[in-house]
Amino acid sequence: MEKTYIAGVLGAGRIGKIHIENIIYKIPNLKLKVVADINRDDKLEKWANDIGVPRLTKDPNELMLDPEINVVVIASPTNTHIKFIQEAAKAKKDIFCEKPIDTDLKRIKETLEIVKKEGVKLMIGFNRRFDRNFQRVREMVSSGQVGIPHIVKVTARDPAPPSIDYIKTSGGMLFDMTIHDWDMARFQVGSEIEEVYTKGAVLINPEIGKAGDIDTVVLILKFENGAIGMVDNSRQAVYGYDQRVEVFGSKGCAIADNETSNTVRLYTAEKIKEDNIPYFFLQRYMDSYTAELRYFIECLQNNREPSPNGDDGFQNVVIAIAAQKSYEENRPVKISEIVS
Amino acid sequence: MEKTYIAGVLGAGRIGKIHIENIIYKIPNLKLKVVADINRDDKLEKWANDIGVPRLTKDPNELMLDPEINVVVIASPTNTHIKFIQEAAKAKKDIFCEKPIDTDLKRIKETLEIVKKEGVKLMIGFNRRFDRNFQRVREMVSSGQVGIPHIVKVTARDPAPPSIDYIKTSGGMLFDMTIHDWDMARFQVGSEIEEVYTKGAVLINPEIGKAGDIDTVVLILKFENGAIGMVDNSRQAVYGYDQRVEVFGSKGCAIADNETSNTVRLYTAEKIKEDNIPYFFLQRYMDSYTAELRYFIECLQNNREPSPNGDDGFQNVVIAIAAQKSYEENRPVKISEIVS
Amino acid sequence: MEKTYIAGVLGAGRIGKIHIENIIYKIPNLKLKVVADINRDDKLEKWANDIGVPRLTKDPNELMLDPEINVVVIASPTNTHIKFIQEAAKAKKDIFCEKPIDTDLKRIKETLEIVKKEGVKLMIGFNRRFDRNFQRVREMVSSGQVGIPHIVKVTARDPAPPSIDYIKTSGGMLFDMTIHDWDMARFQVGSEIEEVYTKGAVLINPEIGKAGDIDTVVLILKFENGAIGMVDNSRQAVYGYDQRVEVFGSKGCAIADNETSNTVRLYTAEKIKEDNIPYFFLQRYMDSYTAELRYFIECLQNNREPSPNGDDGFQNVVIAIAAQKSYEENRPVKISEIVS
Amino acid sequence: MEKTYIAGVLGAGRIGKIHIENIIYKIPNLKLKVVADINRDDKLEKWANDIGVPRLTKDPNELMLDPEINVVVIASPTNTHIKFIQEAAKAKKDIFCEKPIDTDLKRIKETLEIVKKEGVKLMIGFNRRFDRNFQRVREMVSSGQVGIPHIVKVTARDPAPPSIDYIKTSGGMLFDMTIHDWDMARFQVGSEIEEVYTKGAVLINPEIGKAGDIDTVVLILKFENGAIGMVDNSRQAVYGYDQRVEVFGSKGCAIADNETSNTVRLYTAEKIKEDNIPYFFLQRYMDSYTAELRYFIECLQNNREPSPNGDDGFQNVVIAIAAQKSYEENRPVKISEIVS
């Protein structure tokens, strides 16, 4: 029979709530025991109660010190990830942590060494790898239907920019948004990036520029296996959450188009019209959050290394640093300039 | 604040389980208290326990006699619907009942009179009306974007025929399968059918013919408002569960195509390929089961007559009888020949 | 080397001009010698001169009596078809004639006998059989990719009704418009129709009803091989010239959607928009007119019976008569009631 | 009344033949008088005769010295363009010249000055600007429906690489193939490129690399108005001639997908299948060759400067030189490094 795991969740913000719901409703072999959130208030209390959270606390140590809890899901702010991963690892708990691990390569490295030493499993939440469309593309690539990948293209555009306050603390568009896209490119191609060129611009809102960030960016990625990647991002696609992937290779081309809101087309005297693609990332990617956590539990049950793991988390931050440097210096930057 | 209801469910077969899951997980204002199923066994017991059913019984009277329970969901075999509706109505409970109410017009009429007399609400589970695509078409029609409806087309094809045993007790293809489609046509057009012509055939499996049924059928429907309907059904579409609706009118045409499994297209030297449409009705219509029950609770909360209601259930059986007669006599049959 | 033919064309109206252009520009093995049109005027003279018509006359006998001319293309009004076919056949010329041959079965029969006796070839211009999309469907059906055909569906809707004057002399919607659609159904299924049921209505313009005609019609066709056909027609689809075909069978389903004006989709904050399908039948079917005439010449070169031939022309009129009777009597009509 | 022009054509190779056919059959106001081709042989003689070329010569001077000829269409090899443009200009003839003008900026400049001095019109044959899909995108951009352009993407992939012999004399992939794509990007954005970054690779055939060329290339273009362009090219898309354009802006996104061979989809037990996109550039772009020449004649009739003109031809070569430099030095290259 399949082993059941006992979970504690750190952080009950937007993403934390998704994981909590998934654990309660959708993942039979993962039982929720405690949720810890420093911002516990009446509203959160009510939400937790309604949905059936067994216990809500402000104290993360309740999880860390509970010997029955063997899985920790980290959905707290980025600057707490390192601390919680290390503590959970030392407490011999398997860890699912939201992306990014951190923004400092040295701290990430130390943390991954602790994870390794303690022998626990660590998965990083690059949930888009579990989107059914992008997974289907990957299956076509890995089964050879596309042949040897030559060009991989990732388009990711948000419907509206975040607040200027958010942007100021986000680490920048490349660390905050584009990090998903080179992870997607790496996932699809199955090879590591060795060079990156970034071209960024402020085209949507000058305030974003004043805050030291960009709102539009395109990248060219060079992979070790020879493939070339292209990414384009915008903070504002007025028509919705535009998410597409294309892998072109020696035997063909797999293209994942946007999901649609419904399948209805209206033919009128003026135009043929369809409803917009989903506007919000939760509409598009909800199922992928469930799928990634299910997969993590399967990895634990079968003692398999999960993917994306800590090394992927590290590598994606390395690329972010290279991409940022490329943008600032307007030149292609080799990954070997960042880590050797 | 919104009122919360207490539910009892009769029947925990395939559809019953769907309603139970939806009540537990997805409908906050409907709390499950008891499930009654005459076939309670260890397997069902385990399923009920895992999913969190508070109490499982063999005895429907536990529901009927429990004054706290104010909503009864009937998902038991068709030949028990009449009995349970009458009992629940007399116990002053609001009722959600799976289609069809019954196959006998007189019994249905008596039952609807009891429902009316007792002043409870009755909704019939024609779930496809709650499919997001067909609802979107209806919105376009009712908001006038299509103009006056001239032609409505419903295509519904199952991926594989049911067993011959099932067919023998199903009441026939028209009562079992096509009933959904004239309900859909009535829903889209917003008018009643006054005449029906049926052309049926046995093209898939001669055993179906030997069992007295057909496996392929097309119909022309004449509506009171002048619109014309077309339905085509097959028991076997090898490529999946083919479900489409089209409303053509004076100002345009709204077409709901099949839902897709994913959005990926593979371009190869040989062909462009896409994955098939969903194969099973639960994949396609799962969300519609949740939506219909949610809508029913909203009707109760706002003291609104639900739709489709008992009259719709009655009318759809009337049409089935007319359609069957048309098939047998190979001539258009007026609804007024069946009821006047 | 391929034999070259010398053509005379009767009638230089809308369709005649298309054939003339095709012969001059697109059919290398068919050389135009004379065009005869009773309405020769300055405007037509100029058109003929500009496009390179070698000789324009009012007198059809110039063609009939010219021994060099071995192909006659008849694009004159319907009521002249019989006369011209007979004359051309007796002059031993091969004949391409626009549909319909005539509306009188006896006259058609006599004419076909003359054609047969004189040993010339006769092709009737059901050009839609040569549309690339519908031909592709037929290839899929005839190569067995769809399996045994169960249901064939033809949708044909005009963008706007013709003038009331035209309608009065058109022979009625079934003879004028729907005749193309059962020809298409016969072409796709590869079997003859044995019964037809027609449901017609006046939904667009009451003046059409006053003129004794209908503007909206649906039909169910029963084929000898067991397949069932469905046709829906409207005189007014405000969004363009809606032309679709679907063949559903034991192994799959081939669907030919409308041709598009261009492939551009515009994603906006409000909707996703596409340009309408072509509005006019010439835009949609121009290539099919070229293809049918090319195919006719190939038949002559290889001494093959063309298809659709005179028998198809006859059969399509038989069905028109049955369909009309079915509409008038509101009952399915067997083809054997019309011809035995 | 519209003025009619008299044309001479230089070169009757693949593209020359297209222009000749278009002039004879499709452009009423342009009359063909002479075709000059140094390779006149029996085969060409026969082709010219069949299609109705009035006179075929080996001597270009027959055109240049004929005072009646006022339009010269240059479709001869690239290395003759400069010479013929200059001669035609001096003979006061308006000129349509195939792309590219030349590969040497100084020679192009001198030639354009002669054209200017002589006061004749010069159009360069970047025919893709006249493709109905890409023109529709441009209309959407120029009418403001897309808002301010932020990102323009051009995908162009050939079905199969040319011969190694061709590659050796082609001037390289960037001059031969990609030149169309930055012209398309310039056309869509309506602004000039100020910087280009090129990443090329040999992924299809090592022989192409040995010949000093690449077979896969992606570029990032920076426009003066702030927009960013992305181009991806491959010499071998096994599924056909892949040609797509996307313009993303502040108000929306216009996407031109590939043209399809037909509209038929086959639903089978295994997959949904469509026929491939057209394999050959002539299938895709034939209409655009007609449209560009028609437009040129309209420019002459209305005394308007044609577009793309000589300056566009010059600019596209400047970008080619910058793109080549960028590829060789693996760094973004400013256009101002090439011309100032």
Note the pLDDT tens digit of each residue in B69-93.
Answer: 999 999 999 999 999 999 999 999 9
Q: Tens digit of pLDDT for each residue in B118-139?
A: 999 999 999 999 999 999 999 9
Within 8 A of C218 by CB-CB distance, chain B residues are: 151, 220, 228, 230
CA distance B184 to B128: 7
Show the tokens assigned to B207: 């055993």
- Tell me, what's the pLDDT at A214? 98
As a dihedral over the C-alpha atoms of residue A135, residue A141, residue A144, residue A150, rounded to 10 degrees, the angle is: 180
Q: Which chain D residues have a beta carbon less than 8 Å from that of B155?
A: none
pLDDT band at residue D340 under the 50/70/90 scheme = confident
Task: List the strands of the sheet with C122-124, edge to edge.
Answer: C56-57, C30-36, C5-10, C71-74, C94-97, C122-124
Residue C110, judged by CB atoms within 10 A of its CB (0-12, 13-18, 19+), counts as middle
pLDDT > 70: percent of chain B: 100
pLDDT tens for B229-280 read 999 999 999 999 999 999 999 999 999 999 999 999 999 999 999 999 988 8
Which residue does chain A place closest to D153, by CA atoms?
A: A232
Output the pLDDT for position C214: 98
How far apart, in whole angstroms, are the C-alpha atoms of residue D218 and residue D196? 11
**C-beta atoms of C150 and B332 within 8 A:** no
Tokens read off for A22: 């998934």
pLDDT digits (tens, 9 = 90+) for A72-108: 999 999 999 999 999 999 999 999 999 999 999 999 9
- Fill in the amino acid letter for D154: V
Residue of C271, C275, C277, C279 to mutate, interface with A, max A Cβ within 10 Å: C271
Q: What is the mean pLDDT of residues B143-149?
A: 98
Chain B nearest CA to A101, separation (Å): 31
What is the residue-wise DSSP string for C63-115?
A: HHT-TT--EEEE-S-GGGHHHHHHHHHHTT-EEEEPSPS-S-HHHHHHHHHHH
Confidence check on the interface: ipTM exceeds 0.85, yes or no = yes
Maximum alpha-carbon separation in chain B: 68
Nearest residue in D to A231, CA atom: D230
What is the token pair recorded at D235? 């010499």
Q: What is the structure's pLDDT at D170?
A: 86
Closest to B220 in 3D by CA, of C242, C331, C335: C331
- pLDDT score of A209: 97
In whole angstroms, what separates CA A136 from the centre of its chain? Answer: 18
Residues of B in contact with C222 (CB under 8 A): 199
Provide the number of CB pairs (under 8 Å) joining chain A to chain B.
Answer: 80
Which of A79, A77, A61, A108 lies closest to A15, judged by CA? A77
Write down the pLDDT at residue B50. 86
**Could you tell me which chain D residue has the CA closest to the CA of A149?**
D203
Find the closest chain C residue to D147 by CA distance: C268
Average the pLDDT over B18-45 and give the result: 94
Q: Which residue of C has its CA nearest to B225?
A: C203
Omega within 30 of 0 (cis) for the link into B100: yes
Q: What is the pLDDT of residue A184?
A: 98
3-state secondary structure of C220: strand
Name the minimum distance, in Å, from the CA of B133 to any CA of chain A: 5
Interface test with B, best of C191, C223, C230 (most B CBs within 10 A): C230
Tell me how close the Cα of A128 comes to any Cα of chain D, in angstroms: 23
Q: Average pLDDT of chain B?
A: 96
Mutate one of A266, A285, A287 to test the B interface: name it (highest B CB count within 10 A): A266
The type of residue at C179 is I
Residues C41 and C48: their CA atoms lie apart, in Å, by: 10
Q: Give a three-class secondary structure readout of A270-323.
A: CCEEECCCCCCHHHHHHHHHHHHHHHHHHHHHCCCCCCCEHHHHHHHHHHHHHH
Answer whether B269 sits within 8 Å of A258, measured CB to CB. no
Which pLDDT belongs to residue D50?
86
**D195's tokens:** 């910087």
- For chain D, the average pLDDT equals 96
- Picking from C197, C234, C239, the nearest residue to B197 by CB comes out as C197
Q: Which residues of chain C carry a pLDDT beneath 50?
A: none
Best of D139, D146, D150, D224 to substitute, by most chain A Cβ atoms within 10 angstroms, is D150
Q: Give the residue from D158, D267, D276 with the most B CB atoms within 10 Å of its CB, the best one to mutate.
A: D267
What pTM was computed for the model?
0.95
Contacts of D269 in chain C (CB under 8 A): 251-252
Which of D203, D222, D330 has the CB atom closest to A150's CB atom?
A: D203
Interface of B with D (CB under 8 A): 237-240, 242, 267-277
Of C218, C227, C242, the CB nearest to B228: C218
Instruction: Quickly state the pLDDT bin for D1 (edges 50, 70, 90).
Output: low
Interface chains of chain D (3 or more CB pairs under 8 Å): A, B, C
Element (H, E) at B286: helix B281-301
- Binned at pLDDT 50, 70 and 90, residue A25 comes out as confident
Residues of B with Cβ-Cβ distance to A133 under 8 angstroms: 262-264
Look at C272 and A269 and tell me if their CB atoms are within 8 Å: no
Cβ pair A238:C275 closer than 8 A = no
Q: Please tell me the predicted confidence (pLDDT) of residue B137.
A: 98
Note whether B239 contacts D269, CB cutoff 8 Å: yes
The residues, ordered by sequence, that sit 6+ positions from A97 with a Cβ below 8 Å of its Cβ are A73, A74, A81, A84, A85, A122, A123, A124, A125, A313
Show residues of chain A in contact with C238, CB under 8 Å. Answer: 268-269
Q: What is the total residue count of chain C? A: 340
Q: Which residues of chain B neighbour A132 with C-beta distances below 8 Å?
A: 261-262
When pLDDT is averaged across residues A162-183 and rounded to a whole number, the result is 94
Q: What would the two tokens of residue D67 be? A: 């005072």
Say if the Cβ atoms of B197 and C218 lie within 8 Å.
Answer: no
> Counting every residue, how long is chain B?
340
Which chain B residues are within 8 Å of D272, Cβ to Cβ? 239, 273-277
CA distance, residue A251 to nearest chain D CA (Å): 6
Chains near B with 3+ CB pairs less than 8 A apart are A, C, D
Are the Cβ atoms of C263 and D259 closer than 8 angstroms? Answer: yes
Is the pLDDT confidence value at A1 over 60?
no
- As a whole number, mean pLDDT of residues D279-307 equals 93
Q: Cβ contacts (< 8 Å) between A274 and chain C: which residues?
A: 271-274
Cα(D235)–Cα(A228) distance, integer angstroms: 15
Instruction: Note the pLDDT of residue C113.
Output: 98
Q: Kindly report the nearest CA distance between residue C59 and chain D, in angstroms.
A: 28
Pick among A241, A260, A267, A273 to test the C interface (most C CBs inside 10 A):
A267
pLDDT band at A27 (very low <50, low <70, confident <90, very high): very high
**Is the CB of B266 less than 8 angstroms away from the CB of A254?**
yes
Shortest alpha-carbon distance between residue C292 and chain D (Å): 18
Residue A186 CA: distances (Å) to CA of A227, A228, C142, D312: 10, 11, 45, 39
Residues of C in contact with A263 (CB under 8 A): none
Q: How confident is the model at residue D280 (pLDDT cuts 50, 70, 90)?
A: confident
Residue A226 has pLDDT above 60, yes or no: yes
Which residue in the set D151, D222, D330 is minimally distant from A332, CB to CB? D330
> What is the per-residue pLDDT for C50?
86
